[in-house]
Structure 1
Amino acid sequence: MARLEVIMPNPYAAILDHPYPFGIPRARMPRLQRAAQFAPFDALSGFTETITERARYTDQDAELDEAQRERLDQKTRLLMERIGERPYVTLHYFEPDERKNGGVCRTVSGRLYRIDLSRQAFYLEGKAPIPVSQIRGIE
């Protein structure tokens, strides 16, 4: 069977090339700005950040028992005696999280150059001071 194609005339053919009959009161908006009007928006602003923060994992601080505290005190006294030698130490400490309960267990190594009992902090070369109350182990 032969196919019969019907070509229909375009009813707007006569006016397609004519200029717009009314003046445009303002300049046309650039395409990028027009597209931005229809872009999706965040109806619940901050929701994604809140969910991400809630999902972020934090460790719980392990409390030291009396025997562990005594061992830390002994190691601290030994280090204070040898502070002039700038001993190389590894400190295990708990860094509390600023935004939620818990924190992160960290390990830092370096040359110990000062133990400040008035400020309750250990100072390693090139590192931030580590509060004595956060230290959980010394090697």
Structure 2
Amino acid sequence: MATIKNIHDYTDIIETSYKKSTKYKQMKRKNRAAQFAPFAALTGYKDIIHDTERLTEEKRIIDENKRMLLDQKLKHFLKTQEMIKITYFKKDETKTEGCYLSIMQSVKRIDELYKTVILNNQQIIAIEDIYDLEEK
């Protein structure tokens, strides 16, 4: 019957002296430590998890009456230049949905060609993404 050797028994090499290589220079301590540094076996997995955690929602459909009312309000606020609360939909860069954001700002101009609103802080919002306009 064969004897089973303990793989954690190093008695045969424990007393052996270290022989320095004449062919290679000794590696610096910093570089030696880097060999044992942890690495991400699943590169990008953490980012995917973080991306999944973000809450998003679908863009709400606005009926024609509300769209006309928003257009009238927008033209009114352009004339008055007063600060308003604009709630708009911002599409997520990686998901199919997005989120609704609100900003307090006044309207600088309406670009009819690109169907956008340019605010006084130079932010541009597509008119179709505006969900609500409130006087503040």
User: Is 2:123 aligned against 1:128?
Assistant: yes
Q: Tell me, which stretches of 5 or more residues in structure 2 are unaligned?
A: 1-14
Q: Tell me, which stretches of 5 or more residues in structure 1 are unaligned?
A: 1-11
Aligned CA distance change for structure 1 residues 40 and 88 (closer, same or farther; 3 Å): closer
Alpha-carbon displacement from aligned partner over 1:61-105 (angstroms, at most 9, x marks no partner): 11112332232133134335x2xx423222110011121111121
Range moving further from structure 2, 61-70 or 101-110: 61-70
Give the root-mean-square deviation of aligned CA atoms: 2.4
The one of 55, 73, 76 aligned to 2:74? 76
Range moving further from structure 2, 124-133 or 48-57: 48-57
Please state whether the residue corresponding to 1:107 is helix, strand or coil: strand
Aligned CA distance change for structure 1 residues 92 and 21 (closer, same or farther; 3 Å): closer
Aligned to 2:64: 66
Q: State which structure, 1 or 2, has the greater radius of gyration over its C-alpha atoms.
A: 1
The one of 93, 96, 99 aligned to 1:98? 93
Which aligned segments of 4 or more residues in structure 1 are displaced greater than 4 angstroms?
A: 20-23
- C-alpha deviation, 1:28, in angstroms: 0.8
The TM-score, its normalising length taken from structure 1, stands at: 0.72
Aligned to 1:57: 55
- C-alpha deviation, 1:23, in angstroms: 5.6
The TM-score, its normalising length taken from structure 2, stands at: 0.74
The one of 80, 83, 86 aligned to 1:88? 83
- C-alpha deviation, 1:138, in angstroms: 0.9
Range moving further from structure 2, 69-78 or 123-132: 69-78
The one of 41, 45, 48 aligned to 2:46? 48
Please state whether the residue corresponding to 2:106 is helix, strand or coil: strand
**Aligned residue identity for 1:101:** T
Please state whether the residue corresponding to 1:115 is helix, strand or coil: strand
**Aligned residue identity for 1:40:** P
- C-alpha deviation, 1:21, in angstroms: 6.7
